A and B are shown apart, each in its own frame.
Chain A
């Protein structure tokens, strides 16, 4: 016990500390809680002992006091962490509290034994360690045996405590409550547990309950029916004996009646009773009657003695002469018989010193008055004989008769040292004076079945008993068999339950532990599969799951590596896509990269043509790619090809084994293709084309690689889209540059022919045409002449065509609207010129008019060979712009030439009028005297009132200048009748003539025109400069290597040019904003 500090819980050393603390707490509570009860109990016992004056009751208090002391010691031990010692002290306390009263109390042995044992058990369940349980049980057994021994030895004078019902109830109530507490504890103990325990409990419970119920019920019913049957059998035997006794008693009565039946004998009796004893009649009668009685006795063998008593109770005559002269007046039987026929219960005959039965009948005289009685005395021998016959009573049965005072009247089968018997059978028979069957302990203390019958004639009870052991032998045998079967079934059931529980719970437990191992990371464990049921299936599934996990995790690195490689390749492709804005170069890089990095056989990029109906091969790898590209390989969208289907369906199209692909264009140039995937190139909802990759391995593509490729395709699409947009932008810039150059150049050109020539060159460059021709109409509008050519047509300059043969140009001359014709067969080309166009291999062509004030003065015609690119409406717009600018230049030139003409005319008029040349005049005139003024300048009308007047009136105003004979002349310069300025001259008064006046007006109109031209020129130059700035910006953008840089540059440039606070650039996918005008854009 000394090692109690060591925790006995296994594998719980971590929690042992706290468990021990809890444990000690439990013990202390276990001690303290009942201590108060103990104090109350002591008081209770002392009170009862004093009140009842029974010192033995006080011993209960002594026991409790000792127990309390032990409990306090236990409390101290528990406080000093000596729990085992505490438990033992506690158990000892209980043993004393329950054992001491047994020394002094009787009648409560069972309660004390059971109560003490239960309390000890309770303490052990609550407080004792499992390892000490065996010892605890031993202590309980020792306690119970001690109680039993005390009960047998009884060393002290004991008091029947049942006489003090309060103590009895108290002890009983405590015991009952302890029992309930124990059951509650047991329930608690089994409520929680493993699935195995619960299954086991459930199984055993399921078996136990019905078996117990069936067994109990059948036993009860069997026992009841057996009891009934045995009772009936015993009652039947008893009834037979009762009938026999009654028959005998009847015969007793009959014997007496016979004595009185005949007159002669009756008269003799009367004589005996009425005559004097010494008379002759009496003597005769006496002798005769004596013989008569003697005959009756010997004949009937019923009575031992027959006698005649007179009315005073004196025996007149007896077959036993010694009895004559005695007096029975005080005896019951005499007085009863005097009143009528009587049968007396067995009564004590003093002189005979034994019990006898008296039967009597009155002797009536002729007046019916009872004058004496004839009495017969019978021994109990006959009764003894009747009840002593034990037929049908087996080995242990017997019948006996007990008087109303419990005296035993007949012989017993077994020795008994008393003449009285107060067992339940006689007691019930006498108390009820009835009949019944009982189970009780007989005079030997042996359990018997007893049937009792009441004989009212004799006022005795006839008891028929048989040992229950024998009576219920058959039923006991049945019960034993049933019990054995029940126990066997239980054992089998428990075995089966154990087996079943094992077979169910063990695999589950194994699976659980396997799962735990796997959860802990050990993937090598395998669940045992040794069954075909659901658990086996579960284990199998579990294993396959583990296997998958294992292979999954095992192959994860490879897969991660492969996927990483793919993603890296994808990233490379994406980077390549992003780093190159040149579409062709981009695509070349991409396809090569794809083939290279994904170890593929072939990769190709298709883009949709302008019509969107066909996918044109843009780039492809290898020799096949080169050949296909050269062929301008095309596939119909939605046609019988992987690419066509992918574009049409806008989703990846995989052929794992090309032989099985439903829709696939089998390309003879790619004979080794085993699997193929075609992925649409999409930006948003817009399909740009498709990426087609092929592998020499079958099933080279799966969903994962398709996803990777699709993401790559998306990047390609974006890049392609970017490249296309970039190309377009670049083209636009290039064109704008060409346009601006051309405008500057054209404006700077003084000669119309040269302008036209340059125009042709610019146009050719602007749309990258194969050749360009500029036609100008002749004055008669009948012919068109190729005034200039560029590209391939350079040598055809100055070819003049008839208007009717000018083809589309002719149409344009007529309609004044530009025409775009993509081929000779598109229905636009007039039939007359179609042949020439076909002959010239001309494919797409654009004709734009050169229009001056609604009059078409010529056309620009650009064309490509049919193999070359098709023109677009954008090209048309560009050419229209160029045409408009060139018209300006042409018009300016023409106006210049007209101004030259006007000056020449003025000069000529001046010469004619002044005899001097205009140039001389102007040369002579001081420069400061000729001024340009404009409405935009602040004028000083007071200085030159004539100028103000001229500007106001729109006509020539003059003012004589003081003293010199000169006039200040102001000539308004009007453009479209609006004065925009004035020419101020100082003219000698004598020279101021009408001729001079009109000449000046003419000059002013020319000046107005020239000024307008100059303004227009200046405006054009400004435009050109801006275009140039744009082209410069575009150049910078172009030089920017990345999209981010492009956007930044673009934003910066536009900001600079426009001075706007915020600039945003929107691309196809989203928005890029430069907040607060800091010129820095971010890309989303």
Chain B
């Protein structure tokens, strides 16, 4: 017995020693800062899940998520190195590239544009043509925000004259307040998953005109990185995208948990709204006929067309350079 014990012990010790010696010395974590496009919200559920489920750590990444806001320009943050990665709308990518700020979109959070023109059902506004003569809420008075530009492009696409309607800047983004107050008959630049949802939750039915239905498709929240960063640290981008996709997959499957993850980043959020938002954005994230996070050239084409129409781009860009799916769908 003694011999057996000793034998066992010895084996254990030897094995422990060997294993301890073999244990892969983990390289220092790569610090990655992400400048989000907006305040913390479940829109970024995939990032939160990747953090909470340790997917980033598994990829040896130490990820910092910086919340955005009206005053934050993610492209600028990425460009000046404040953040390695940023989340921003597709048109800003093209405009930045046109301005020789070389950033590339490597993933999109939404495959469908969430932008809608919201109106109350009794307004009779079914189509963009119905906006003529109406007071339409816009993001900025100057109509220079991304969303406003798209709205204008939409009007132009349909041959509608912007002068035929009256624009006022939206002041209350809570649900359909601006509509119900009668300040505007329609509100453009809303996210289908946000204000309409709030209105719906508040028991207010709304009519929605999707920008996408009229060919105005711009990736609302593309993940961008500087070109030089992608050239020098492609593995970081790859690992980040892989972990983030895993996070989105997790969030898709566990919407309630994803909402709670969002609350960890901003406890002031309303979990109920966050959950509803999460559920609502599922088809935007996974539109069904393409890989999650992947982007279509046609959408970038549409984005460029929009910018060209608005005169925000003077000439077409090499769209193949502006975005890539190679991190979302790695070559096998």
A→B interface (CB under 8 Å)? 26, 29-30, 33-34, 36-37, 40-41, 44, 47-48, 51-52, 126, 163, 166, 169-170, 173-174, 177-178, 180-181, 184-185, 188, 312-314, 322, 325-333, 335, 344-348, 350-351, 353, 355, 403-407, 417-422, 459
| Other-chain contact of A34, B9, B19, B296 (Cβ < 8 Å) | B9
Cα–Cα distance between A870 and B9 once the two chains are bound (Å): 109
- Whether a CB of chain A sits under 8 angstroms from the CB of B231 is no
Contact bitstring B3-42, A, C-beta under 8 A = 1, else 0: 0111011011101110110110110000000000000000
Min Cβ gap A426→B in Å is: 11
Cα–Cα distance between A346 and B2 once the two chains are bound (Å): 68
Residues of B within 8 A of A34 (CB): 5, 9
- Whether a CB of chain A sits under 8 angstroms from the CB of B292 is yes
Min Cβ gap A64→B in Å is: 12
Segment among B141-149, B264-272, B283-291 that sits at the interface with chain A: B283-291
- Whether a CB of chain A sits under 8 angstroms from the CB of B202 is no
Residue pairs across A and B with Cβ atoms less than 8 A apart, 17 shown, are: A34-B5, A40-B16, A40-B17, A52-B26, A166-B20, A174-B12, A185-B1, A313-B215, A325-B129, A327-B213, A332-B296, A345-B289, A347-B287, A348-B112, A350-B283, A407-B288, A421-B253
Q: Check if A330 sits within 8 Å of B289, measured CB to CB.
A: no
- Whether a CB of chain A sits under 8 angstroms from the CB of B173 is no
Residues of B within 8 A of A29 (CB): 1-2, 5
Residues of A within 8 A of B78 (CB): none
Residues of A within 8 A of B5 (CB): 29-30, 33-34, 181
Min Cβ gap B91→A in Å is: 14
Residues of A within 8 A of B12 (CB): 37, 173-174, 177
Cα–Cα distance between A44 and B129 once the two chains are bound (Å): 73
Cα–Cα distance between A329 and B252 once the two chains are bound (Å): 27
Q: Check if A40 sits within 8 Å of B13, measured CB to CB.
A: yes
Using A44-B20, A170-B16 as known contacts, say yes or no to A350 and B214 having CB atoms under 8 A apart. no
Q: Check if B289 sits within 8 Å of A347, measured CB to CB.
A: yes
Min Cβ gap B309→A in Å is: 13
Q: Check if B212 sits within 8 Å of A330, measured CB to CB.
A: yes
Cα–Cα distance between A1007 and B252 once the two chains are bound (Å): 178
- Whether a CB of chain A sits under 8 angstroms from the CB of B157 is yes
Contact bitstring B112-129, A, C-beta under 8 A = 1, else 0: 100000000000001101
Cα–Cα distance between A26 and B112 once the two chains are bound (Å): 74
Q: Check if B210 sits within 8 Å of A350, measured CB to CB.
A: yes
- Whether a CB of chain A sits under 8 angstroms from the CB of B135 is no
Number of interface residues, chain B, beta carbon within 8 A: 56
Using A166-B20, A344-B289 as known contacts, say yes or no to A178 and B8 having CB atoms under 8 A apart. yes
Q: Check if A177 sits within 8 Å of B11, measured CB to CB.
A: yes
Residues of B within 8 A of A346 (CB): 288-289
Q: Check if B212 sits within 8 Å of A350, measured CB to CB.
A: yes
Min Cβ gap B255→A in Å is: 7
Cα–Cα distance between A405 and B248 once the two chains are bound (Å): 11
Residue of A nearest to B299 (CB): A330
Residue of A nearest to B5 (CB): A33
Q: Check if A405 sits within 8 Å of B253, measured CB to CB.
A: no
Q: How many pairs, one residue from A and one from B, have CB atoms within 8 Å of each other in the complex?
A: 144
Residues of B within 8 A of A41 (CB): 16
Residues of B within 8 A of A328 (CB): 215
Residue of A nearest to B252 (CB): A420
Q: Check if A406 sits within 8 Å of B213, measured CB to CB.
A: no
Residues of A within 8 A of B19 (CB): 166, 169-170
Cα–Cα distance between A350 and B211 once the two chains are bound (Å): 10
Residues of A within 8 A of B26 (CB): 51-52
Q: Check if A350 sits within 8 Å of B112, measured CB to CB.
A: yes
Min Cβ gap A802→B in Å is: 125
- Which 9 A-B residue pairs are closest in the complex by CB-CB distance? A327-B215, A348-B283, A347-B289, A420-B253, A347-B288, A330-B217, A326-B213, A330-B298, A348-B287
Q: Check if B16 sits within 8 Å of A184, measured CB to CB.
A: no
Residues of B within 8 A of A421 (CB): 253
CB under 8 Å from chain A, chain B span 67-114: 112
Min Cβ gap B192→A in Å is: 7
Residues of A within 8 A of B156 (CB): none
Residues of B within 8 A of A185 (CB): 1, 4
- Whether a CB of chain A sits under 8 angstroms from the CB of B158 is yes
- Whether a CB of chain A sits under 8 angstroms from the CB of B60 is no
- Whether a CB of chain A sits under 8 angstroms from the CB of B176 is no
- Whether a CB of chain A sits under 8 angstroms from the CB of B249 is yes
CB under 8 Å from chain A, chain B span 252-304: 252-256, 282-284, 286-292, 296, 298-299, 301-302
Residues of B within 8 A of A178 (CB): 8
Residues of B within 8 A of A313 (CB): 215
Residues of A within 8 A of B213 (CB): 326-327, 350-351
Q: Check if B23 sits within 8 Å of A170, measured CB to CB.
A: no
Using A40-B13, A322-B126, A407-B286 as known contacts, say yes or no to A330 and B210 having CB atoms under 8 A apart. no
Contact bitstring B207-228, A, C-beta under 8 A = 1, else 0: 0101011110100000000000
Q: Check if A335 sits within 8 Å of B9, measured CB to CB.
A: no
| Other-chain contact of B296, A33, A37, A330 (Cβ < 8 Å) | A330
Residues of A within 8 A of B158 (CB): 325
Q: Check if A33 sits within 8 Å of B291, measured CB to CB.
A: no
Min Cβ gap A249→B in Å is: 15
Cα–Cα distance between A188 and B12 once the two chains are bound (Å): 22
Residues of B within 8 A of A184 (CB): 4
Cα–Cα distance between A332 and B294 once the two chains are bound (Å): 13
Cα–Cα distance between A333 and B13 once the two chains are bound (Å): 63
Q: Check if B20 sits within 8 Å of A405, measured CB to CB.
A: no
Residues of B within 8 A of A422 (CB): 249, 253
Min Cβ gap A403→B in Å is: 6
Using A36-B9, A47-B20, A333-B289 as known contacts, say yes or no to A418 and B2 having CB atoms under 8 A apart. no
Residues of A within 8 A of B6 (CB): 33
Q: Check if B214 sits within 8 Å of A326, measured CB to CB.
A: yes
Min Cβ gap B10→A in Å is: 9
Min Cβ gap A128→B in Å is: 13
Using A33-B9, A173-B12 as known contacts, say yes or no to A405 and B215 having CB atoms under 8 A apart. no
Residue of A nearest to B17 (CB): A40
Min Cβ gap A183→B in Å is: 11
Residues of A within 8 A of B291 (CB): 404-405
Residues of B within 8 A of A407 (CB): 252, 286, 288
Residues of A within 8 A of B287 (CB): 347-348
Q: Check if B15 sits within 8 Å of A170, measured CB to CB.
A: yes
Q: Check if B23 sits within 8 Å of A51, measured CB to CB.
A: yes
Residues of B within 8 A of A163 (CB): 54, 58
Q: Check if B289 sits within 8 Å of A329, measured CB to CB.
A: no
Q: Check if B288 sits within 8 Å of A405, measured CB to CB.
A: yes
Cα–Cα distance between A173 and B289 once the two chains are bound (Å): 47
Q: Check if A405 sits within 8 Å of B1, measured CB to CB.
A: no
> Can you name 10 extra interface pairs (CB under 8 A) apart from A174-B12, A330-B215?
A29-B2, A30-B5, A44-B16, A52-B26, A166-B19, A177-B11, A329-B215, A347-B288, A350-B283, A405-B252
Cα–Cα distance between A332 and B290 once the two chains are bound (Å): 9
Min Cβ gap A541→B in Å is: 44
Min Cβ gap B113→A in Å is: 8
Cα–Cα distance between A284 and B123 once the two chains are bound (Å): 32
Cα–Cα distance between A434 and B230 once the two chains are bound (Å): 35
| Other-chain contact of B288, A37, A181, A355, A417 (Cβ < 8 Å) | A355
Residue of B nearest to A419 (CB): B282
Residues of A within 8 A of B290 (CB): 332
Q: Check if A325 sits within 8 Å of B9, measured CB to CB.
A: no
| Other-chain contact of B286, A40, A44, A405 (Cβ < 8 Å) | A405
Cα–Cα distance between A322 and B208 once the two chains are bound (Å): 13
Residues of A within 8 A of B208 (CB): 351
Q: Check if B302 sits within 8 Å of A329, measured CB to CB.
A: yes
Residue of A nearest to B280 (CB): A353
Residue of B nearest to A344 (CB): B289
Residues of B within 8 A of A330 (CB): 212, 215, 217, 296, 298-299, 301-302
Min Cβ gap B297→A in Å is: 9
Residues of A within 8 A of B20 (CB): 44, 47-48, 166
Residue of B nearest to A356 (CB): B288
Cα–Cα distance between A328 and B12 once the two chains are bound (Å): 66
